Amino acid sequence: MNVSVPQFDQGSPTKFAIAVNVDRVSFTVHKRYSDFCAFDEQIQYEMGEPTPAPLPPKKWVGNKNPQFLEDRRRGLELYLRAIIRRQEWRESLAFQQFLEVAKHAKESKPSTAVLRSQWLKDAEDARSIIASATSSMSSSSSTPSVSAQVRRAAVVAATKVKDLELALKEDSSLGEGEYRRRKDIVDELSRAAQTLTRPPLPGSSSSRSPSPSLFDSNTNATSNTTGRSRVLGAAAETNRTRDLDNRGILQLQTDQMQEQEAALEQLRATISRQRELGETINEELTYQNELLDDLDTNVHATNARLNQARRQVKKFT
C-alpha cells in the first residue's frame, strides 16, 4: 500500500486529497481535517495505544493561510505514512474504512463482460489501423511522408497485437471455441502487421489486409454462372444438384434453409438457457461477495477487540 496527500482544495471547507494505491488499484479520497481528527480517535480506540505519529495541531486563527495549509498537508501525509509502515495499523478496520478501500476496490475492478468487449474493440482498432496503412501503401501517390506514416502504423499495430495476445493468455474464463476464434484473430492481425514492414511484391495490392471473415460473419461467396443454362445454383455441381432442374434446385434450397432455421432455433433455445444460468450464477456470486464483505468486516472488528484485550492483559502481567 502507498498513500500520499499531494494537494488540498482551498474551498469551504478545506479538503485534502489522499492518493491511495493498493493491490494495483489507484484512487483518491477527499477528507477534511475534522475527518482526520475523528479517524485518529477511532484508530487509537481500536488499537488501544497512541498513533505512530501525531496529527498536525489545530489552529483557530489563520487556518486558511496557504502556507499553513501546505504545512498541514505535509503533516497529514507523514501521519498516514507512519501508520501504513506498521502492518497491524494499516490493516485495522478504522484505517480501511477511512480510506474507503473496499468501496474503491470494487468500483475499480472491471467486469468480465467489459474486459471481453474492450478486447474486441481493440482488435477492431488494430484491424482498422492495418487496413488504413495497407491502403496507403497500395496507393500510386506514395511519398516519403506516407512511408513514415505506414512505419508508425506498423509499430502501433504490432503493439496492439502484442497487448491483445497477452490479454488473451491472461483470460482463463473463455470457452475453448471462443478462445480459438480470438486466437485466429490475433494470428491474422499479427501476419498482417508484419507485412507492413516488408517491401511490396510486384503486382501485389491489398492482399496484406487482414481477412474480414474473422470479424464479419456476413461475407458471401460469389458464384459465376457464365455458360450455364440453369438460372439458380452455383457453377460447381454436386451429387445432390447435378440431376435437378430450376424447380428442384429451388426446393433443395428451401429445404436446406428450413433445416438451418430449425438448427438456429435449437441454438437460440440453448443460448437462452445458458443466459438464464449465467444470470443465476451472477446473482449467487453477488450474494456470496456480500457475505464475504460482511465476514471481512466482522473479522476486522474481532481482530481489533482481540488486540485491545491483549494489551489490557499485558498491563496486568
Q: Tell me the CATH number at 99.
A: 3.30.1520.10
Residue 35 falls inside a structural domain? yes
User: How far is residue 175's CA from residue 296's CA, in Å, rounded to a whole number?
Assistant: 32
- 93, 28: one domain: yes
Residue 102 falls inside a structural domain? yes
Last residue of a domain, one of 85, 108, 131: 108
- 52, 66: one domain: yes
At 29 the pLDDT is 92
Which residue carries 474486441 as its cell? Answer: 120
Residue 277 falls inside a structural domain? no
At 206 the pLDDT is 43
Asked if 50 and 79 count as a contact pair (C-beta separation under 8 A), the reply is no
Picking from 26-30, 70-74, 247-251, which range would have the lowest pLDDT averaged per residue?
247-251
* Element of type H or E holding 63: none
Residue 141: pLDDT band by 50, 70, 90 thresholds? low
Last residue of a domain, one of 197, 215, 245: 197
Residue with more model confidence, 112 or 13: 13
Of 293, 252, 277, 240, the C-alpha closest to 93 is: 293
Residue with more model confidence, 93 or 73: 73
Q: pTM for this structure?
A: 0.41
Over 80: is that where the pLDDT of 99 sits? yes
Cell of 7: 494537494
At 176 the pLDDT is 79
Residue 266 falls inside a structural domain? no
- 193, 130: one domain: yes
Over 80: is that where the pLDDT of 209 sits? no
- 51, 9: one domain: yes
Cell of 200: 511490396
At 31 the pLDDT is 93
Over 70: is that where the pLDDT of 301 sits? yes
Report helix angle 144-170 to 176-195, nearest 10: 160
Q: Among positive and negative, which fits the CA dihedral 239, 240, 243, 249?
A: negative
Over 80: is that where the pLDDT of 226 sits? no
- 19, 100: one domain: yes
Last residue of a domain, one of 108, 129, 150: 108
- 135, 102: one domain: no
Going by their DSSP bridges, the two strands 2-9 and 25-32 should be labelled as unpaired
Residue 207 falls inside a structural domain? no
Residue 161 falls inside a structural domain? yes
Residue 121 falls inside a structural domain? yes
| Average pLDDT over every residue of 122-132 | 87
Residue 83: pLDDT band by 50, 70, 90 thresholds? very high
- 18, 81: one domain: yes
- AA identity, residue 108: S
- 6, 100: one domain: yes
Over 70: is that where the pLDDT of 221 sits? no
- 126, 188: one domain: yes
- 79, 162: one domain: no
Q: What are phi and psi of 31, to 5 degrees?
A: -130, 145
- 162, 90: one domain: no
Q: What percent of the chain shows pLDDT beyond 90?
A: 13
Of 29, 83, 22, 25, the C-alpha closest to 52 is: 83
- 123, 97: one domain: no
Residue 317 falls inside a structural domain? no
Host domain of residue 169: 112-197
Number of structural domains, the chain?
2
Give the burial string for 161-173 (b: 16+ CB within 10 Å, else e).
beebbebbeeeee
Cell of 91: 490493516
Averaged pLDDT score across all residues of the chain = 78
At 109 the pLDDT is 55
**For residue 118, what are the CA distances in angstroms to 62, 105, 123, 287?**
51, 20, 9, 26
Residue with more model confidence, 221 or 128: 128
Over 50: is that where the pLDDT of 225 sits? no
| Average pLDDT over every residue of 177-203 | 77
